[in-house]
């Protein structure tokens, strides 16, 4: 029992602690530098909206005012069966660079992308979300990476909060993910993209299934075509952090279920003989990450039986319960501090991932989404 407990404890820490440490050790020996030159290819910004009347005008205005040659930019916007004023707002904006696709029947974001990308004129396709605000220089920072012919996809990261605001626990997690993907990129290719801001060479786009999670499947497709997927830390967008724990929970359940489905459909990418270090990255970053909440409860259960053995087990058990109580206290706004918020966010993620496993095993459909705004 002690051996099993020790093994589970190591596995619990693996994805979040040991894996980044391994990457940091490997980077000086396996680093693959990439070229970044000033280029100005034609860029198509592609976004799909559903009931985004509160943010869609700001998003389109933001995209139109980016620091990039106007004759080298177009914006493709779809409305995925919106029932609010989204269509009316988009139609009222007069600019020749906007191409509007008002789909009447909801089919999901990925289906909308499949319809828009083939019609795009750009050499580079930038995928973004309706509630993501882009810095003025973002396109120039993105396209410079495509001067390297090995690069097929460039992802950025999300800064939670307004451009002048502060980041909370979700923002801290985003910075952690940025660090992890940056390490992976330096060695080869990072796992997945940030759905709010990533770009690809149009020629590499392959039609997706309607229930595919595009910001994970598209990067996998790029890797299959022997191109690199990299994160540029200077490429980012701003989003308001989700205010409701319930909203964040639902979002994480959906992400987990769709990512697990994607992993199941692409199990061959875990073969290191075919995909080398990238297989190790997928296993460590995704597979072990989604197993972590299950391992946590296994560690807790073993700890209950080992509690009386020695002081070390008592201390570990105490730490686990402090974490659980902190996560619970994080639900009460008056008690919240940074540690309580972080504990609450992490436990929310753990519970959501467990629910995501259940949804995956039940074969539930997560093709469409409803913005929590």
- Please provide the DSSP assignment of 305-333 as one string: HHTTT-HHHHHHHHHHHHHHHHHHHTTSG
pLDDT for 343: 87
260 assigned to some structural domain = no
Q: 105 and 204: one domain?
A: yes
Last residue of a domain, one of 187, 217, 241: 241
Residue 212: which domain range? Answer: 43-241
Give me the CATH number covering residue 77.
3.90.550.10
Tokens 């992490």 correspond to: 346
pLDDT for 243: 58
86 assigned to some structural domain = yes
pLDDT for 7: 93
Low-confidence ranges of the chain (pLDDT < 70): 162-170, 242-243, 335-336, 365-373
303 assigned to some structural domain = yes
CA 318 to chain centre: 33
Instruction: Give me the half-sphere count of Cα atoms (radius 13 Å) on the Cβ side of residue 36.
Output: 12
Last residue of a domain, one of 206, 241, 276: 241
Count of domains for the chain: 2
111 assigned to some structural domain = yes
343 assigned to some structural domain = yes
Q: In this structure, what DSSP letter does residue 61 have?
A: H
Q: 212 and 355: one domain?
A: no
Last residue of a domain, one of 241, 265, 297: 241
Q: Return d(Cα 300, Cα 313) in angstroms, integer.
A: 11
Number of CB atoms found within 10 A of residue 230's CB = 25
Going by their DSSP bridges, the two strands 197-201 and 151-160 should be labelled as antiparallel
Q: 115 and 228: one domain?
A: yes
pLDDT for 49: 93
Q: 49 and 7: one domain?
A: no
Q: 193 and 295: one domain?
A: no
Q: 167 and 88: one domain?
A: yes
Q: 224 and 85: one domain?
A: yes
pLDDT for 372: 58
Q: 193 and 309: one domain?
A: no
371 assigned to some structural domain = no
Q: 293 and 224: one domain?
A: no
Q: 12 and 48: one domain?
A: no
pLDDT for 226: 97
Q: 205 and 300: one domain?
A: no
> What b/e string do you get for 64-99 counting C-beta neighbours within 10 Å, with b at 16 or more?
eebebeeebbbbbbbbbbbeeebbebbeeeeeebbb
218 assigned to some structural domain = yes
Q: 53 and 139: one domain?
A: yes
- Please provide the DSSP assignment of 194-232 as one string: -TTEEEEEGGG--PPPTTS-HHHHHHHHHHHTT-EEEEE
96 assigned to some structural domain = yes
């Amino acid at each position: 029992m002690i051996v099993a407990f020790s093994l589970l404890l190591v596995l619990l820490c693996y994805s979040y602690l040991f894996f980044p440490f391994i990457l940091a050790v490997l980077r000086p020996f396996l680093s693959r530098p990439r070229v970044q030159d000033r280029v100005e290819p034609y860029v198509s910004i592609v976004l799909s909206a559903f009931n985004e009347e509160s943010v869609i005008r700001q998003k389109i205005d933001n995209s139109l005012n980016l620091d990039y040659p106007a004759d080298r930019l177009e914006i493709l916007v779809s409305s995925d069966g919106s029932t609010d004023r989204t269509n009316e707002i988009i139609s009222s904006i007069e600019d020749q660079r906007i191409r509007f696709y008002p789909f009447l029947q909801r089919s999901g974001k990925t289906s909308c992308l499949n319809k828009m990308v083939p019609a795009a004129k750009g050499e580079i396709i930038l995928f973004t979300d309706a509630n993501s605000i882009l810095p003025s220089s973002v396109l120039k920072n993105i396209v410079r990476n495509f001067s390297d012919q090995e690069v097929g996809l460039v992802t950025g990261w999300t800064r939670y909060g307004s451009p002048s605001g502060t980041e909370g626990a979700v923002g801290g997690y985003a910075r952690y993910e940025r660090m992890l993907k940056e390490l992976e990129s330096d060695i080869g290719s990072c796992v997945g993209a940030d759905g709010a801001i990533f770009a690809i060479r149009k020629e590499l786009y392959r039609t997706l299934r309607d229930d595919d999670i595009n910001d994970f499947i598209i990067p996998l497709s790029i890797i299959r075509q022997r191109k690199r997927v990299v994160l540029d830390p200077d490429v980012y967008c701003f989003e308001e952090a989700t205010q409701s724990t319930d909203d964040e929970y639902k979002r994480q359940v959906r992400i987990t279920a769709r990512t697990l489905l994607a992993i199941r459909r692409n199990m061959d990418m875990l073969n290191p003989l075919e995909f080398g270090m990238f297989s190790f990255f997928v296993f460590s970053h995704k597979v072990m990450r989604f197993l972590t909440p299950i391992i946590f409860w296994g560690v807790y259960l073993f700890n209950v039986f080992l509690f009386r053995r020695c002081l070390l087990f008592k201390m570990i058990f105490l730490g686990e319960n402090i974490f659980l109580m902190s996560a619970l206290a994080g639900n009460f706004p008056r008690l919240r501090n940074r540690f309580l918020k972080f504990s609450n966010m992490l436990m929310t993620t753990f519970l959501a991932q467990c629910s995501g496993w259940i949804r995956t095993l039940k074969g539930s459909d997560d093709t469409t989404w409803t913005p929590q705004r």
